[in-house]
């Protein structure tokens, strides 16, 4: 399992193969020396220098022999502190931006609590998991990864999901994403990944987008990224709300009990209200109508007394499972299907408080993967090991002082005692004469180590030759990518095709586009063919030779959003288009049914004030029509008098309101007057499918809300 991959022959084959059948022999970029450094995600063992390139060096001028792998003790062992190549590279990367974060710059935070369901003393001595019903204060920061602080919320991107638990034995930071895998296997490649994803350095754009040459050039040369690419090209990368997305710890960690017995653990956050994403056309329009859409959604939900709630679950397994599992549990580009190890719920998190000051809390909060408490420990996952170095260094640069834990949002809620002193902005210094240990000052000598209660690392045996190498068990880059794609519902698969075609259509170099398609052939031939067709590639390129041949794995139904719909409309928002004279009885029935469902009703009108219903009552308008398009809502209703329908039919914004709702497969309700607006928007009776409801009494309002529980009327989508 741990023999290193010898990929010299594979790499030579890649460089010699043409990218597509019939291409002129001198145009294949796989044969172009410019791309010989493309790792493909595997170990490099080139023995000769590349005459076409200047040698890569450290900042001190030392030529680098391997820029792909961190130095470890053994093929799967821990990383070594002496690896100056990795430390310098990541250190410099961490300090590229001031003052905003290099990644996860655009974030939104909330406070709340975590409640433990039951004692887990049999598998971990972590204090917060010892007593059923115990509540622990938490702070959560949701974020996008690639964009700057001013980018839009609905970018196609990974979403950060970082949780700080203020436990009685110190702060535990579970720093994850809404996707359970990552692009790379070794942290030494993280600067390259983010450089490729960020705006291109010679032009400073595109912002918060991966639809450009640099990103896809990098991806096409890193097959280990292909599993993650499937996820970011799926609907998971454009969630409807922070409240409607999952979170994952990504890595394999350890639970350690009081006797230092270890259990492997993967962490999962499951949203109480279920998963939901938007369509790409919706995402584009939401970014235009309200670039703060996700922030506003969470703020409004908490302010209205409907907190976001997630359940924390774990996948627990031992060494026996890890040894027999077909992939390496230390490989962050892989997941363990829930069908193999079900997720066990162990607690719930309720986010019921907004921050008092955005800068003081959301901007200054500092998460570090190294922040664990007794009972939770690391594994030798090379990406996790690198993150443990990188995050602390990043916080030092970003917040300007090693004393960032003095800031209230970062300060532990338990007693602290140490001899660390001074430094920039030291709010608290040790008292007394002794500032060192050991000392002979007795009770006045300050704190001492505590072997009985202190943190103990799991005593895992470590040995091996120092090498820069990827283990053979990390070499299968395509099987789980294939599993993810084939586990999606047909409509989700089409969305992935559409996303890839859109992204690659923004890539200028045809050779890069063809190389991506060549890699996709290892995932699924129909997927590759559809992407090629969308791009106008008439002759499929030859398949990119994989390090290991991909396998057909069983589908994992848990990976689909559509096939795991919540079947409830709780926490969603209905936009109701109204004008003077709208039927008061129907509006009252809609509001009553929405309240009973736990949904929100928002009225959209031609003005914010002065609109009265058929009973003469003044209506509270949430959105002016031109500023409240239907993309901001999960379902829509049209309640208009005949005269109001006539006035609305003359407005482009009103016609677009219903036309977009129809195009975005939303459930639509209308009364007799609203039918006239639908006609004006080109949606006559013949086009009104089962996703439409006629509102004429209280029962019809209840039926409409019940239909909305499906979230979208997928049958309206052609094909």
Do residues 529 and 510 touch, judged by C-beta distance below 8 A?
A: no
Phi, psi of 289 (to 5 degrees): -80, -35
3-state secondary structure of 714: helix
Report d(CA 54, CA 345) in Å as an integer. 53
Cis peptide bond prior to 206, omega within 30° of 0: yes
E strands present in 562-644: 573-577, 600-605, 623-624, 635-638
Integer-rounded Cα radius of gyration of the chain = 28
Residue 267, beta-bridge partner list: 314
Kindly state the tokens that stand for 62.
């030392």
E strands present in 117-169: 135-144, 159-167
CB proximity list for 642: less than 8 A, separation 6 or greater: 672, 673, 676
| Residues annotated as part of the active site | 104, 177
CB proximity list for 191: less than 8 A, separation 6 or greater: 89, 90, 92, 93
Which H helix or E strand runs over 500? helix 490-505
Give me the numbers of helices (H) and strands (E) for the chain, helices first please.
19, 18
Cis peptide bond prior to 99, omega within 30° of 0: yes
CB proximity list for 401: less than 8 A, separation 6 or greater: 423, 424, 425, 426
E strands present in 484-569: none
Q: Are strands 344-354 and 376-377 parallel, antiparallel or unpaired?
A: unpaired
Q: 16-29 b/e with 16+ CB inside 10 Å = b?
A: ebbbbeebeeeebb
């Amino acid at each position: 399992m741990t023999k290193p991959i010898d990929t010299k022959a594979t790499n030579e084959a890649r460089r010699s193969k043409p990218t597509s059948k019939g291409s002129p022999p001198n145009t294949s970029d796989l044969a172009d020396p410019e791309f010989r450094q493309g790792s493909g995600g595997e170990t490099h063992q080139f023995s000769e220098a590349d005459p076409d390139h200047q040698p890569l060096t450290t900042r001190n001028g030392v030529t680098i022999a391997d820029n792909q792998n961190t130095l470890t003790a053994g093929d799967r062992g821990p990383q070594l502190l002496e690896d100056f190549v990795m430390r310098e590279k990541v250190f410099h990367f961490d300090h590229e931006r001031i003052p905003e974060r290099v990644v996860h710059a655009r974030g939104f935070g909330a406070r709340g609590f975590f409640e433990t369901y039951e004692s887990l003393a049999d598998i971990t001595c972590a204090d917060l998991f010892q007593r059923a019903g115990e509540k622990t204060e938490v702070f959560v920061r949701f974020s996008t990864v690639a964009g700057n602080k001013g980018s839009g919320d609905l970018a196609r991107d990974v979403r950060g999901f970082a949780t700080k638990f203020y436990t009685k034995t110190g702060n535990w930071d579970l720093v994850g994403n809404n996707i359970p895998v990552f692009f790379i296997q070794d942290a030494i490649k993280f600067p390259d990944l983010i450089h490729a994803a960020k705006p291109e350095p010679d032009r400073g754009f595109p912002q918060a987008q991966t639809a450009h040459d640099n990103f896809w050039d990098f991806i096409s040369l890193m097959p280990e990224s292909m599993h993650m690419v499937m996820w970011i090209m799926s609907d998971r990368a454009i969630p409807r709300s922070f409240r409607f997305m999952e979170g994952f710890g990504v890595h394999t960690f350890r639970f350690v009990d009081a006797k230092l017995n270890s259990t492997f653990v993967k962490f999962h956050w499951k949203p109480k209200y279920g998963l939901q994403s938007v369509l790409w056309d919706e995402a584009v329009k939401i970014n235009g109508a309200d670039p703060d859409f996700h922030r506003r959604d969470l703020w409004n939900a908490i302010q209205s007394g409907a907190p976001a709630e997630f359940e924390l679950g774990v996948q627990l397994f031992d060494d026996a499972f890890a040894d027999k599992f077909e992939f390496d549990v230390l490989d962050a580009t892989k997941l363990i299907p829930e069908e193999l190890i079900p997720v066990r719920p162990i607690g719930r998190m309720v986010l019921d408080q907004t921050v008092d000051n955005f800068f003081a809390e959301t901007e200054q909060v500092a998460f570090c993967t190294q922040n664990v408490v007794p009972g939770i420990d690391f594994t030798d996952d090379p990406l996790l090991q690198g993150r443990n170095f990188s995050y602390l260094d990043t916080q030092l640069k970003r917040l300007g002082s090693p004393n960032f834990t003095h800031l209230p949002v970062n300060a532990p809620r338990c007693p602290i005692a140490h001899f660390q002193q001074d430094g920039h902005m030291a709010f608290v210094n040790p008292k007394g004469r002794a500032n060192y240990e050991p000392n002979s000052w007795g009770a006045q000598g300050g704190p001492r180590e505590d072997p009985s209660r202190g943190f103990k690392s799991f005593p895992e045996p470590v040995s091996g030759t120092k090498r820069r190498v990827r283990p053979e068990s990390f070499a299968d880059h395509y099987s789980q990518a294939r599993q993810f794609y084939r586990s999606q519902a047909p409509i989700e698969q089409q969305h992935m095709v559409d996303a890839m075609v859109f992204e690659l259509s923004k890539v200028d170099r045809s050779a890069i586009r063809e190389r991506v398609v060549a890699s996709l052939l290892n995932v699924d031939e129909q997927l590759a063919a559809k992407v090629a067709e969308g791009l106008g590639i008439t002759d499929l390129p030859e398949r990119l030779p994989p390090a290991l041949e991909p396998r057909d794995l069983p589908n994992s139904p848990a990976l689909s959003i559509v096939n795991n719909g919540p079947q409830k409309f709780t926490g969603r928002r209905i936009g109701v288009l109204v004008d003077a004279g709208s039927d008061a009885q129907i509006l009252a029935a809609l509001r009553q049914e929405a309240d009973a469902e736990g949904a929100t009703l928002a009225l959209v009108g031609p003005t914010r004030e002065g609109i009265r219903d058929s009973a003469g009552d003044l209506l509270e308008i949430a959105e002016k029509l031109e500023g409240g398009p239907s993309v901001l809502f999960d379902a829509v209703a049209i309640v208009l008098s005949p005269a109001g329908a006539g006035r609305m039919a003359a407005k482009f914004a009103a016609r677009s309101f219903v036309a977009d709702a129809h195009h975005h497969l939303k459930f639509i309700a209308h009364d007799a007057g609203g039918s006239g607006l639908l006609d004006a928007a080109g949606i006559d009776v013949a086009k009104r499918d089962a996703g439409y409801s006629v509102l004429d009494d209280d029962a019809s309002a209840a039926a409409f809300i019940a239909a909305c529980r499906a979230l979208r009327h997928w049958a309206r989508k052609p094909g």
